[in-house]
Homo-oligomer: A and B are copies of this chain.
Amino acid sequence: MTVTPQYIVNGKLDAQVSPLDRGFAYGDGVFRTMRMTENRVVAWPLHYSKLMEDCNRLDIVCPSSDVLHADIQRLNEDRVPDAVIKIIVTRGEGTRGYALPALAQPNRVVIKSAYPLYQESNFSEGVSLHLCQLRLGHQPQLAGIKHLNRLENILARMEWNSSAFADGVLQDIDGNVIECTAGNLFIRIGKDLVTPDLSLCGVAGITRQRILQLSEALGLNIYVDRVSMADMMSADEVLICNSLYGAWQVIDFNHRQWPSQPLASTVRQLLQEQS
């Protein structure tokens, strides 16, 4: 089922964006990608809180939760059981140049797309990952933010075409493991479940944040730390995660195979119970 995405711009269905919008001109904005099941955005409070935090870091005025909620409801009058909701918030229109406009009115776009047709084996067995050649640059002032400057992710994603790879692993310029192009990453070493530090680069996703809270339920020490490629290659287990698929186990990466194990499935179940 291919469904054309539907969208709403500043509350107007099928409206378009001004070419003077600074999101278009400079990537001057932030976004969220979320799953909607049964007419509910999964983990909405966390998504909205992250949207606000990201807007604050760029000094962009964040639309209210109510306004965004109304946009989402209008897009969902057909009440499909499963869909993807994307929210883009930009600084708004500007005159020429990088200086902030005196009175920027943020623009908001909400887009509804079909839920992706993931391979069932991604959930039941696990996934293979590509090792990206592109290394993420360090920029502490943008690290963690899901902003609209995503050329690094695009160049990395251009490195493979095969559907054999569910995603690609990104290292930073120092060779530390950071994330996937479209998700975060955890490695398990014994009773420790570690996700890379994102203070210099990478996007700090909501699902990563939710998994960091599962220590008690999983019986694991879960924390943030620097992760080297050697750490990852010697890990007992590797998981990747995002808001659409939840969590998948990695069973093949960089000439290493891992046997199927139950952690990713347990994590998915816990995430689902809590949403």
- Nearest chain B residue, comparing its CB with the CB of A149: B149
- A173 on interface, CB distance cutoff 8 Å: yes
Given contacts A152-B139, A153-B26, contact A18 B19 (CB under 8 A): no
CB < 8 Å neighbour of A138 from B137, B148, B181: B137
> With the chains together, A138 CA to B201 CA distance in Å?
11
State the CA gap A138–B137 with chains docked (Å).
5
CB distance from A144 to the nearest CB of B (A): 13
**Pair A27/B155 contact, Cβ less than 8 Å:** no
A31 contact set on B, CB distance < 8 A: 25
The listed residue (B20, B147, B151, B152) touching A7 by CB distance below 8 A is B20
A245 located at the interface, meaning its Cβ lies under 8 Å from any Cβ of chain B in the complex: no
User: Cβ of A113 and Cβ of B98 under 8 Å apart?
Assistant: no
Whole-angstrom distance between the Cβ of A183 and the nearest chain B Cβ: 11
Q: Does A97 contact B (CB under 8 A)?
A: yes
Q: Is the CB of B25 within 8 A of A88?
A: yes
Q: Which of A233-273 contact B (CB under 8 A)?
A: none
With A24-B21, A27-B150, A88-B24 in contact, is A137–B134 under 8 Å at CB? no
**Using Cβ atoms and an 8 Å threshold, which residues of chain B touch A156?**
98
- Tell me the bound Cα distance from A155 to B21 in angstroms: 17
Q: How far is the CB of A206 from chain B (nearest CB, A)?
A: 17
User: With an 8 A cutoff between CB atoms, is A109 at the interface?
Assistant: yes
4 new A-B contacts, CB < 8 A, other than A16-B18, A58-B155, A149-B150, are A7-B19, A59-B158, A96-B111, A98-B153
Provide a sorted-by-A list of 17 A–B residue pairs whose CB atoms are within 8 angstroms: A5-B95, A16-B16, A16-B19, A19-B109, A20-B111, A25-B31, A25-B150, A26-B153, A27-B149, A28-B154, A86-B96, A96-B113, A97-B182, A98-B156, A100-B154, A138-B138, A141-B152
